[in-house]
């Protein structure tokens, strides 16, 4: 057979595979599951159809009749008529069981569960490679923003100085309301819940566990670093007050929860997720409400800015739709940077923070090395503290009612006076 004939056959086979609609098994029918179902119903020519839907609770009211559902997700795992499994449940442990089992079967899987992916990414990659399945998870980070595919494909070979952004729409909505309407935190949170942007139990979002998971996922694609979530500092906004919002406003700044991945000198990487004081020169300053925004600082391409809706059924469902399209074209993540020389992960730094607290013992425990500003009447202090101290005492910071926002200034733990430019780009 000639080379031309072989090429024609391959093209014909690919065309045939693209013409046949993907038969989808959907596990979960909450916000994202319903969003995907609605999108595919409006796009009958897309080339994918939901054949089966599995849910956990038979008695829960839903938009489809009860006979449309299965109540054992394992039935979908063992259904040979399904081409793709889409997992969109909120139970990270059960999600891992389902996804890992499907990968051991060599199946194609799409997930939106960021906590599960962050906790188990090394094992998931190993299963994918051993058994020949495919796992895609664009919907796990930043909703409608194609940040994972952008990092994996477009910047797979280019060094990145930093990747930083607002990756949680719920906390961003609360901070926006507090800044615009002078609302107290509790009032703004209730509004976010009424709008559907925050869960009944908002801990994962407001205490920055959700954006921490997303930062861990981004680290794998941006830098080839496979981190455990516990390695990454996460401080949230559950203790934010009008005093903190006013402090930022006087300086012409806003408080945003920023996930930051920074490449430091000597191929060292640090990752942290905290509130940050952001000024108008940053693209993140104008990212408000439930929107997300990500700044990619590339070595050769320069700064890139991605912005879009970070939550909601249709925006997140659109990311699942993009993964289904990628599977139809036999695409998978390259993880190109996993094969490059490893970076050293470091927390041996000092970061400048704004801290509001009335706990004097906490001030001693954090070990301020320089204090640049202090206001006893408002109970806040600005200065440098070791990053390791913040990681060690993060639980105590929460329970003590303290609020922290970083300024963006970072320096080596040797107390050098020169600020690391790479780590203060945002």
Q: Which residues make Cβ contacts (< 8 Å) with residue 190, sequence separation at least 6?
A: none
CA distances from 294 to 154, 168, 311, 336 (A): 15, 11, 15, 21
Beta strands in 205-299 (DSSP E): 233-234, 254-264, 268-278, 291-298
Helix axes 313-328, 31-42, angle to 10 degrees: 60
Q: Is the pLDDT of residue 173 over 80?
A: yes
pLDDT in tens, 351-382: 999 999 999 889 889 999 889 999 888 889 99
Distance CA 241, CA 255 (A): 11
Q: Tell me which fold the domain 164-307+342-423 belongs to.
A: Dihydrodipicolinate Reductase; domain 2 (3.30.360)
Distance separating alpha carbons of residues 124 and 105, to the nearest angstrom? 13
Contact, 25 vs 85, CB < 8 A?
A: yes
Question: What is the third-level CATH fold of 3-136?
Answer: Rossmann fold (3.40.50)
pLDDT at residue 414 greater than cutoff 80: no
For 73, other C-beta atoms within 10 Å of its C-beta total: 22
Residue 121 has phi, psi (to 5 degrees) of -55, -45
- What are the boundaries of each domain within the chain? 3-136, 164-307+342-423
Please state at what angle helix 114-131 crosses helix 209-223, rounded to 10 degrees.
30
User: Which residues are catalytic, by number?
Assistant: 214
Task: Render pLDDT for 104-139 as a digit per residue (tens, 0 to 9).
Answer: 999 999 999 999 999 999 999 999 999 999 999 999
- pLDDT for residue 393 is more than 70: yes
Angular region, 28: left φ>0, alpha ψ -120 to 50, beta rest: left
C-alpha to C-alpha distances, 244 to 23, 151, 404, nearest whole angstrom = 51, 34, 9
User: 171 pLDDT exceeds 50?
Assistant: yes
Q: Model-level pTM?
A: 0.92
Residues 6+ apart with CB under 8 A from 425: 161, 162, 164, 262, 295, 297
Task: Identify the three-state secondary structure at position 18.
Answer: helix
Across the range 166-174, mean pLDDT stands at 96
Which helix H or strand E contains 101, and what residues bound it?
helix 92-104
In the predicted structure, residue 398 carries a pLDDT above the cut 80: yes
* Nearest C-alpha neighbor of 165 from the set 311, 298, 272, 323: 272
Distance CA 226, CA 124 (A): 12
Terminal-to-terminal C-alpha distance of the chain = 57
pLDDT interval class at 278 (50, 70, 90): very high
Q: pLDDT tens digits, residue range 237-248?
A: 999 999 999 999
Looking at the chain, the whole-number percentage of residues with pLDDT higher than 90 is: 80
Question: In angstroms, rounded to a whole number, what is the distance separating the alpha carbons of residues 197 and 70?
Answer: 28
Q: Torsion angle, CA of 186/276/358/391, rounded to 10 degrees? A: 110
Examine the pLDDT at 417 and tell me if it is beyond 60: no
| pLDDT band (50, 70, 90) for residue 1 | low
Q: pLDDT tens for residues 182-230?
A: 889 999 999 988 887 777 789 999 999 999 999 999 999 999 999 999 9
> Which residues make Cβ contacts (< 8 Å) with residue 245, sequence separation at least 6?
175, 178, 179, 182, 255
Give me the DSSP letters along 356-394: E-S-HHHHHHHT-SEEEEEETTTTEEEEEEEHHHHHHTH
Say if 3-136 and 164-307+342-423 have the same CATH topology. Answer: no
Q: Report pLDDT for 5.
A: 54
């Amino acid at each position: 057979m000639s080379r031309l004939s072989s090429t024609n056959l391959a093209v014909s086979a690919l065309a045939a595979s693209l013409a046949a609609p993907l038969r989808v098994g959907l596990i979960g029918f909450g916000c994202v599951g319903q969003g995907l179902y609605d999108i595919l119903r409006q796009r009958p020519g897309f080339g994918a159809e939901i054949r089966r839907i599995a849910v956990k609770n038979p008695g829960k009211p839903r938009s489809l009749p009860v006979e449309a559902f299965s109540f054992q997700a394992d039935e979908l795992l063992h259904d040979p008529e399904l081409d793709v499994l889409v997992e969109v449940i909120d139970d990270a442990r059960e999600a891992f069981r389902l996804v890992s089992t499907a990968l051991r079967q060599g199946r194609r899987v799409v997930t939106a569960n960021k906590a599960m992916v962050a906790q188990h990414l090394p094992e998931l990659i190993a299963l994918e490679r051993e058994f020949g399945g495919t796992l895609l998870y664009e919907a796990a980070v930043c909703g409608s923003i194609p940040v994972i595919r952008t990092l994996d494909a477009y910047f797979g070979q280019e060094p990145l100085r930093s990747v930083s952004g607002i990756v949680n729409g719920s906390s961003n909505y609360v901070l926006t309301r507090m800044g615009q309407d002078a609302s107290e935190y509790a009032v703004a949170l209730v509004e976010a819940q009424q709008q559907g942007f925050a869960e009944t139990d908002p801990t994962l979002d407001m205490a920055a566990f959700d954006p921490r998971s997303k930062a861990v996922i981004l680290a794998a694609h941006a830098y080839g670093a496979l981190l455990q979530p516990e390695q990454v500092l996460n401080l949230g906004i559950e203790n934010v007050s009008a005093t903190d919002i006013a402090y930022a406003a006087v300086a012409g700044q806003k408080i945003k929860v920023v996930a930051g991945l920074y490449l430091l000198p000597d191929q060292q990487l640090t990752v942290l997720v905290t509130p940050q004081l952001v000024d108008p020169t940053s693209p993140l300053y104008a990212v408000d409400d439930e929107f997300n925004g990500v700044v990619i600082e590339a070595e050769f391409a320069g700064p890139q800015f991605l912005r879009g809706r970070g939550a909601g059924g249709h925006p997140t469902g659109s990311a699942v739709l993009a993964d289904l399209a990628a599977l139809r074209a036999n695409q998978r993540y390259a993880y190109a940077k996993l094969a490059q020389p490893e970076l050293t992960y470091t927390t041996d730094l000092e970061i400048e923070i704004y801290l509001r607290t009335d706990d004097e013992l906490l001030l001693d425990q954090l070990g301020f090395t320089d204090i640049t500003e202090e206001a006893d009447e408002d109970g806040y202090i600005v200065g440098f503290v070791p990053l390791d101290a913040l990681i060690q005492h993060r639980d105590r910071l929460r329970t003590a009612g303290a609020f922290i926002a970083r300024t963006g200034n970072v320096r080596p733990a040797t107390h050098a006076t020169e600020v690391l430019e790479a780590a203060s780009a945002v």
